[in-house]
Structure 1
Amino acid sequence: MSRSVRGARVLITGATRGMGRLFAERAADEGAAVIVLWGRDPAALDETAAALARPGLQVRTDVVDLTEPTQLDDAAARLLEDGLVPDVLINNAGVITGNKFFWELAADDTTRTLRVNTLAPMRLVGHLLPAMIDDGGRAKRVLNVASAAGIVPNPRMSVYAASKAALLTWSDTLRLELAQAGHEQVAVTTFSPSYVDTGMFSGTRPVRLTPVLTPERAVAQAWRAMLAGRAHIVTPPTVHVARAARGVLPSRAWDALASVFGVHRSMETFTGRDR
């Protein structure tokens, strides 16, 4: 794929606000031919579609609750039946259900988090990837939005962190499998940002030397990496430092260092919402 989505078919989950909306706007501005928006709110989908209107651009909306596997299955099947094999698939939708300790979480909240953040991207890619592999013409891209929480565990977000760690490992393994099978026309990029100021993590305490990313900056970084076919982008750079320190330090030393920098207290005042 060239460093552009001009003429491409783009599917975005969680597309009506935050990073999802920005991904859609970016695709429209850069000349995508078809943009498929998935979300739970019909009114928000309609409003987003109207805002994206451009000459020659087809915008399609599908109401899909990713906690319901049959809704995802049916929506994916309709796309394939209509010949809309994505050139770009952006698994952006994500949820976090609060800032409680694990034993305080409701079982349904745990299930919901794993269904949206981990199982839905896997299930969707499972439906669409064979057609993306077989589709001739331009190269294909899959962008999976993970999180720095999947790299550096953090109290009060255990299930979210676990869901993103699983997504990260699956995403990067999928990349290797495609290359090993000779399907290098399909590139998989995993994006692991720290806190992004979309409202999803409202109320979190700042971590020293780790700025909260604007959604515009996060989307720009992910977009460039996706088009270039990069394997994994982690941002901001301090997350790399934290990952390295956690890898070499004894657990108690790392825990003490993380506490000094405010990592382990950052979720205590969380008031956010879904991505």
Structure 2
Amino acid sequence: MTDLKGKTALVTGASKGMGRAIAQRLAGDGALVAVHYGRDAEAAKETVAAIEQAGGEAFPVRAEFGTDGDVRTLLTGLTAGLQGLSLDILVNNAACGNQETVRAGSVDRLTPEQFDEVFAINVKAPLFLVQAALPLMADGGRVVNISSLATRVALPYQIAYAMTKGALEVMSRTLANALGARGITVNTVSPGATDTDVTDTLRDPEIRTVLTGLTALGRIGRPADIADAVAFLASDDARWVTGNVIDATGGAYLGPMWAR
């Protein structure tokens, strides 16, 4: 376990899935965690309750990305919850949850409206959240952005989604260079197929078998796998790591499996 006692963190999209696991891990390491959610207040309350039952501290903060004033709304709730404390860790995990938008992303089916939606949530919101949060962020802070395996594996039905994650990785490197003078590190974690309650495709046994067979470590990822990588980057152990992409896919699509 890393030591985050006395630290504060904001995890976007923390009501479910990987975001919930990340929030729980950072809280378990001692951080006060702002649990961001868009629409599902009950799920966010469950995340907060789980953290508190484990002895941690957390509070919910609502803002629906992709709507007018989304970042301003989030910052208002965050500032109120921090009660004068600075922000030490920002995890940009929230991503477009509309599976139809993600899955309908082939070049012959993608609509301008779907394109705008996924970029607004996956790129615009994280960028302007960082911008807005910088006055609250302590020197030596941490920014961790969640990308995707889709940036290095060409999946034709995810062209817009993959483009947003590629943009996020470029943003991370640029911010790492820009914020280094303040000792703020900016890194990216890139998950592959991960077992969460929001990943519908992994409920298909045939798809699970195929994806497992394409992964060097021979299984589907778990939310805790991603949360542990984020916790490392959020900790003092990663103080000399910035501008990097950490591949947390278990070695997905590394090469032909018959060669083993």
Where does 1:121-270 land on structure 2 (aligned, <5 Å)? 121-132=126-137, 135=138, 139-179=140-180, 182-184=181-183, 186-203=184-201, 205=207, 206-207=210-211, 208-210=213-215, 211-227=219-235, 228-229=238-239, 230=241, 231-236=244-249, 238=251, 241=254
* Displacement after TM superposition at 1:7 (Å): 1.4
Match of 2:122 among 107, 117, 123: 117
Check whether the contact 1:114–1:163 (CA below 8 A) recurs between aligned residues: yes
Q: Residues of 2 paired with 1:191 and 1:178: CA distance?
A: 18
Q: Residues of 1 paired with 2:147 and 2:102: CA distance?
A: 18
Q: Residues of 2 paired with 1:131 and 1:44: CA distance?
A: 27
Q: If the length of structure 1 is used for normalisation, what is the TM-score?
A: 0.76
Q: Residues of 2 paired with 1:239 and 1:85: CA distance?
A: 38
* Displacement after TM superposition at 1:55 (Å): 8.8
Check whether the contact 2:22–2:230 (CA below 8 A) recurs between aligned residues: no
**1:25 aligned to 2:33?**
no
User: Deviations for 1:76-135, whole angstroms, at most 9, x for unmatched residues?
Assistant: 144346434311111111125242223313433222211111111101001012331xx3
| Structure-2 change in CA distance of 1:150 and 1:57 (3 Å) | same
Amino acid at match of 2:17: G
Percent identity between matched residues is: 28
List gaps (5 residues or longer) in structure 2: none
Amino acid at match of 2:132: H
| Structure-2 change in CA distance of 1:79 and 1:226 (3 Å) | closer
* Displacement after TM superposition at 1:152 (Å): 2.6
In structure 2, what is the equivalent of residue 249 of structure 1? none
Check whether the contact 1:85–1:128 (CA below 8 A) recurs between aligned residues: no
In structure 2, what is the equivalent of residue 250 of structure 1? none
Q: Residues of 1 paired with 2:170 and 2:29: CA distance?
A: 30
Check whether the contact 2:193–2:249 (CA below 8 A) recurs between aligned residues: no
Question: SS in structure 2 opposite 1:221?
Answer: helix
In structure 1, what is the equivalent of residue 7 of structure 2? 8
Which stretch has the larger CA shift, 63-72 or 17-26? 63-72
User: Deviations for 1:160-195, whole angstroms, at most 9, x for unmatched residues?
Assistant: 10010000111112112222xx222x1111111222
Match of 1:104 among 83, 102, 109: 109
Q: Residues of 2 paired with 1:37 and 1:71: CA distance?
A: 15
Amino acid at match of 1:236: T
Where does 1:48-127 land on structure 2 (aligned, <5 Å)? 48-53=47-52, 57-80=56-79, 82-95=83-96, 96=99, 97-100=101-104, 101-127=106-132
Higher Rg: 1
List gaps (5 residues or longer) in structure 1: 243-256, 262-275
Question: SS in structure 2 opposite 1:28?
Answer: helix
Equivalenced residue count is: 236
Q: Residues of 1 paired with 2:2 and 2:52: CA distance?
A: 22
Q: CA RMSD, aligned part only?
A: 2.7
* Displacement after TM superposition at 1:197 (Å): 1.6
Check whether the contact 2:214–2:253 (CA below 8 A) recurs between aligned residues: no
Check whether the contact 1:189–1:226 (CA below 8 A) recurs between aligned residues: no
